[in-house]
Amino acid sequence: MSKIVTRFAPSPTGHLHIGGARTAIFSWLLARHYGGEFYLRIEDTDLQRSKQEYTDSILASMRWLGLDWEGEPVYQTRRMDLYRQYVEKLLQSGNAYWCSCTSEEVDAMREKAKQLGQKPRYNGHCRDLGLGPGPGHCVRLKIPHEGKIVFDDMVKGRIAVDVGELDDMVIQRADGTPTYNMAVVVDDHEMGITHVLRGDDHVSNTPRQILIYQALGLPVPTFGHVPMILGNDRQKLSKRHGARAVIEYESDGLLPQALVSYLARLGWSHGDQELFSRQEMIDFFDGKNLNPAPAAFDPAKLEWCNAHFMRQLPLEELASQVRPFLERAGFAKISKERLLPLCVMFRERANNLAALAESFRPLLVPAAELACSEKDAKKQFTLKGRDHLEKLKAILAKTEPFDAASTDAALNAYVADNNLKFKEVAPPLRTALMGFMGGSHLNEIMDFLGRDETLARIERAIGMCPE
């Protein structure tokens, strides 16, 4: 097989959303699977709505997702001369013509066609007039009078469209700019694209683009139109469904590998495997098994997926990934020696990096600043609770060395010697140390806090108990 070349072609009119991200992932995977090339093209010809900040944001999201591309991104606005050259070729070969019809005239033709029960279309008025360029003149493609455009879509299977359904479309506007379909064909050809994967909102453009390829005598790439991602209620996906821009997932503390694995599964399958490493996706994604039915976005499953990847991450990497979130939570200067045990204690309990960083908070603030749950304090800081805390305080003051093993032994001895149950003793201690009934193993917490901080927290809790 010859080399597979794909691209992702976002319009920089907003941040990268999960629908676009999934299209990008598929295109990237197809190229990587076959050892091909993947390019990025910024479709910025809509000058009103395109913004540099969105281009920057899309590129940043692509990098964050790990979707690397070949060379520099191609910007359509920098290629206007190229598009004009191709339009010129079509004029020269008689496959395109100048049209002087005003938009009112074209509207009237469309209206008339509708009244005749036909598709609204341009009636070919200028097709054989032999007009040249002039103010207000656009260029139209001279399409065949009859025939079928047939292509085998990678997702939807065979698609056939009657040429009679189409009309002599504009390829260059009166202001000299190319229309969307013209620019895309020129770019995809010039960039050597062999496989075009895109959202199925573009499927009706494809027969028009194929007509342009044919008129230019160029090979037609393979197309694949990926269905939309819907919300859980099968409605058009929106914020309401918990869908967010890729940069928002980043700041929520999702791992990029989790988002990539989750999105790849939306509309693609490999047996019933749910979670994929990057390499597995590259190995398995061969462009088949793409589902023509729209997939539904499930935020809970994404979170589950993220929790899985967080658990898989080597400890040191998890620590360095959580650091920016810790800084954001106000803990800038935590040494690695302190950060690693925090990650060990809490990694199983958090579903994203932001939540993980936040779960460290009770162990990082000084005793006096520890937030205390009113509900848990009321339940645990009782007369009985006070008694346990006072005795534990005396024991822990003398426990040597003050580490996880000996604090554990001390705690167990206190329970056994006094004929108590662990679940009578642990809750008041836990609430004293964490400020609420959560956290990790008590001995690990105490080991992390050290003796002084442990005793200070117990002391403070005793002060909150009735006398």
Positions touching Zn ion (CB under 5 A) are 99, 101, 125-126
One residue of 4, 9, 141, 377 binding ligand GLU per CB under 6 A: 9
How far, CA to CA in Å, does 381 sit from each of 132, 391, 433, 452?
91, 14, 12, 21
Does 441 engage in binding with ligand GLU (CB under 6 A)? no
- Range in contact with ligand GLU (rule: CB under 6 A) among 3-11, 211-219, 359-367, 408-416: 3-11
Least distance from C-beta 195 to ligand GLU, angstroms?
11
The reply on whether position 58 binds ligand GLU by CB under 6 A is no
Q: Given the complex with ligand GLU, which of 11 and 257 has the nearer CB atom?
A: 11
User: Rounded to an integer, what distance in angstroms lies between the CA atom of residue 423 and that of residue 420?
Assistant: 8
Residue type, 148: K
**Residue 50 has which token pair?**
């395109």
Evaluate whether 167 touches 113 at the Cβ level (below 8 Å): no
Closest by CA to 277, choosing from 293, 261, 300, is 261
Instruction: From 9-17, 52-60, 131-139, 298-306, give the range in contact with ligand GLU by CB under 6 A.
Output: 9-17
| 43 contact, one of ligand GLU, Zn ion, none, CB 5-8 Å limit per kind | ligand GLU
Nearer to Zn ion (CB atom), residue 109 or residue 329: 109
How many angstroms separate the CA atoms of 440 and 348, rounded? Answer: 10
Is 101 an interacting residue with respect to ligand GLU (CB under 6 A)?
A: no
Strands 138-141 and 96-99: antiparallel
DSSP string, 346-379: HGGG-SSHHHHHHHHHHHHS-GGG----HHHHHH
Give me the helices (H) in 4-79, please.
18-33, 52-65
Q: How many DSSP H helices and E strands does the chain contain?
A: 18, 12
Minimum distance from CB of 258 to Zn ion (Å)? 54
Active site residue 51: no
**Contact with ligand GLU (CB under 6 A): which of 32, 137, 140, 198?**
198
* Cβ-contact 60, 156 below 8 angstroms: no
Nearer to ligand GLU, 187 or 303 (CB): 187
Q: Which stretch binds ligand GLU (CB under 6 A): 74-82, 194-202, 358-366, 424-432?
A: 194-202
Q: Does 61 bind ligand GLU (CB under 6 A)?
A: no
Active-site option among 3, 119, 236, 239: 239
| Element of type H or E holding 411 | helix 404-417
Q: Does 184 bind ligand GLU (CB under 6 A)?
A: yes
Contact by Cβ (8 Å): 331, 354:
no
Q: Does 225 bind ligand GLU (CB under 6 A)?
A: no
DSSP-assigned beta bridge partners for residue 158: 152
Q: Among the candidate windows 4-12, 252-260, 409-417, 446-454, which touches ligand GLU by CB under 6 A?
A: 4-12
Q: 193: burial class by Cβ within 10 Å (0-12, 13-18, 19+)?
A: buried
Distance CA 457, CA 248 (A): 37
11 part of the interface to ligand GLU, by CB under 6 A: yes
| Structure tokens, 311 | 């658990």
- 141 vs 429, which CB is nearer to Zn ion? 141
Nearest to 438 by CA among 368, 381, 363, 378: 363
Q: Which of 6, 10, 182, 455 binds ligand GLU (CB under 6 A)?
A: 10
Q: Binding to ligand GLU by residue 51, rule CB under 6 A? A: no
50 binds ligand GLU (CB under 6 A): no
The least distance separating Zn ion from the CB of residue 140, rounded to whole angstroms, comes to 7
457 binds, among ligand GLU, Zn ion, none (CB under 5 to 8 A by kind): none
Catalytic residues: 239
| Interacting residue ranges for ligand GLU, rule: CB under 6 A | 9-11, 43, 184, 198-199, 202
